[in-house]
Amino acid sequence: MSNTIISILDKRFKLSIPNETILEKVRALANKINADYEGKNPVMICILNGAFMFAADLVKCLTFQPEILFAKFASYDGMESTGKVKELIGINTDLSGRDVIIVEDIVDTGLTMFNILPKFEALGTKSVRICTFLQKPEKLEVDLKVDYVAMNIPNDFIVGYGLDYNGMGRNYKDIYSVVDN
Ligand code: 5GP
């Protein structure tokens, strides 16, 4: 996995963010979250599938005790373009009165988070914050407050560290960006 160019299906990707940098950024972000939530007991919700690797590294750096849940969204057809989410799957815990931190892999247009936030607020949560590993600030299309961002990146399509290309590439510990579109 040390190659700087990898092939996944029909595309080639080049090394963009090595794992050492990723872990430094995760630790720096965890320090901010630790300062904000010291002595509190928030619920951290890892959004599947893409955020599993980020969430695993992040929670190891926390100095408070969160409750850790996993959620997935059923989407309408064409979720990629509209971000419309139909249903929250996997939250059987009562979130009323709880501080919630949503842990996401990447905020691109912001539509997914924009549509997910009201679903959590409707559950009577005390607070809901968004924590994402990556954000593509130039692509943001909605008025979305992203509370915690580990890294801002350009608009390139990326894979690795939990992120996939047609279901593949999630297992890479580094992040790669597409070479040929
Ligand atoms: P948004 O609704 O913010 O436009 O998109 C969020 C979702 O799109 C992410 O959770 C992720 O699944 C997917 N996504 C956005 N950009 C990328 C990317 O560069 N690579 C991959 N693999 N997925 C992406």
Q: What is the pLDDT of residues 84-141, one digit of tens each?
A: 777 778 899 999 999 999 999 999 999 999 999 999 999 999 999 999 999 999 999 9
Q: What is the pLDDT of residues 138-157, one digit of tens each?
A: 999 999 999 999 999 999 99
Whole-model pTM?
0.95
Determine which residue's CA is closest to atom 16 belonging to ligand 1: 108
CA–centroid distance, 158 to ligand 1, in Å, is: 9
Using CA atoms, how far residue 66 sits from 59, 82, 102, in Å, is 8, 32, 12
Pocket test for ligand 1, best of 106, 109, 181 (most atoms within 8 A of CB): 106
Q: Is the CB of residue 112 below 6 angstroms from any atom belonging to ligand 1?
A: yes
Using CA atoms, how far residue 167 sits from 35, 39, 49, 136, 164, in Å, is 36, 38, 10, 21, 5
